[in-house]
């Protein structure tokens, strides 16, 4: 039997438990690979009671076997959590619990007990307090691969990736360079070949409007085009720099598999307008696969039973065909 996937329960005061319950209820329709939750049994029981879900939870242990994950009971590796009530205000009170969930997941990775990790949403502003830009950067440092991480927002039809992630717009032009672009494109290309059995068509965007600036050495000429030339010499299928304003209109006609932008919102905003919840966030460049739903904690609807589990289900489905 294939190794299972561990799902980190995420921020307790959010929609995380709700999307877990909804995904578990329909798992027979989409999941070929076993999975289990890393989180607090006490907390999950409180939340399922409030949400009125009739799901039984069973405790599993570090030496679990695949057969322990079978059946109708939701398998959970228990992490201690002391807060008495769910769905209260998000704060730093949950940090110790969330960090323990991540550390436990990486211990399972090291022992080769799991294929990969899915983490439910967390609130970065409270969890990291400016220490890390986001989960992508945090988990790469925790696993000893700082600087090698690549964020890929993936849908079967199209994926996007930003060269820089969670940084202020004023710092973007200082952070992009030929080496970083080349490294990240190679990582994405290798991922498609290894896991998806496909050599992708990659489009890379410019930074400036219409790929032009009045400055003599603007970024498209000084950095981006040189990176593209270097990548083409490696037989990577890449075109660009492509003008941002038309790139998402042309991706189907030009058969782009991946659009790579210079900064976070340059590619994520149009991508989310196209696909909404039908996408997942994959961290590449690690010795294991880390995936998460492509949305946040949705604190405005926490506890209201209105959350859409689509992105978490897509994250679980992604692992079905991974060897």
The residue ranges of every structural domain in the chain are: 1-149+285-323, 150-280
Classify residue 323 by burial, with Cβ atoms within 10 Å: 0-12, 13-18, 19+: exposed
Q: pTM of the full predicted structure?
A: 0.87
**Residue 147 Cα distances to 3, 69, 180, 184, 234, angstroms:** 28, 35, 9, 10, 22
Count of Cβ atoms closer than 10 Å to residue 255 Cβ: 11
* CATH label, 150-280, candidates 3.30.1310.10, 3.40.718.10, 3.40.190.10, 3.30.70.270: 3.40.718.10
Distance (Å, rounded) from C-alpha 215 to C-alpha 83? 56
pLDDT at 216: 62
pLDDT at 1: 46
Average pLDDT, the chain: 89
Strand pairing class (150-154; 280-284): antiparallel
Q: How confident is the model at residue 62 (pLDDT cuts 50, 70, 90)?
A: very high
Same fold, 1-149+285-323 and 150-280: yes
Q: 100 with 106: CB under 8 angstroms?
A: no
Lowest mean pLDDT among 16-25, 37-46, 133-142, 291-300: 133-142
Specify the fold of 1-149+285-323.
Isopropylmalate Dehydrogenase (3.40.718)
Name, in order, each residue with C-beta under 8 angstroms of 129's C-beta and a sequence gap of 6 or more: 92
**pLDDT, tens digit, 9 for 90 and up, residues 251-308:** 888 899 999 999 999 999 999 999 987 889 999 999 899 999 988 888 889 889 999 9
Whether residue 129 has pLDDT greater than 70: no
Q: 117 with 280: CB under 8 angstroms?
A: no
């Amino acid at each position: 039997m294939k190794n299972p996937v561990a799902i980190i329960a995420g921020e307790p005061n959010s929609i995380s438990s709700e999307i877990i319950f909804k995904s578990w209820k329909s798992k027979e329709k989409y999941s070929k690979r076993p999975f289990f939750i890393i989180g607090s049994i006490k907390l999950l029981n409180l939340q399922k009671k409030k949400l009125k879900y009739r799901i039984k939870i069973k405790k599993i242990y570090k030496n679990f076997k695949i057969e322990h994950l079978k059946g109708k009971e939701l398998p959970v590796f228990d992490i201690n959590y002391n807060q008495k009530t769910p769905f209260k205000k998000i704060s730093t009170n949950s940090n110790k619990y969330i960090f323990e969930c991540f550390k436990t997941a990486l211990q399972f990775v090291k022992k080769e007990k799991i294929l990969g990790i899915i983490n439910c949403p967390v609130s970065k502003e409270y969890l990291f307090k400016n220490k890390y830009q986001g989960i992508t950067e945090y988990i790469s440092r925790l696993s000893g691969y700082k600087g090698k991480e690549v964020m890929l927002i993936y849908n079967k039809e199209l994926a996007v990736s930003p060269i820089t992630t969670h940084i202020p717009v004023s710092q973007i032009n200082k952070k992009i360079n030929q080496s970083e672009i080349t490294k990240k494109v190679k990582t994405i290309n290798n991922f498609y070949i290894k896991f998806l059995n496909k050599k992708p068509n990659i489009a890379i965007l410019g930074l400036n409007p219409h790929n032009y600036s009045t400055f003599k050495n603007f970024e498209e000429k000084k950095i981006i085009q040189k990176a593209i030339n270097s990548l083409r010499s490696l037989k990577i299928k890449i075109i660009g720099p492509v003008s941002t304003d038309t790139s998402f209109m042309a991706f189907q006609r030009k058969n782009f598999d991946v659009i790579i932008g210079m900064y976070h919102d340059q590619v994520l905003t149009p991508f989310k307008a196209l696909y909404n919840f039908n996408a997942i966030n994959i961290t590449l460049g690690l010795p294991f696969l880390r995936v998460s739903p492509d949305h946040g904690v949705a604190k405005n609807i926490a506890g209201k039973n209105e959350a859409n589990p689509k992105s978490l289900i897509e994250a679980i489905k992604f692992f079905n065909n991974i060897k």
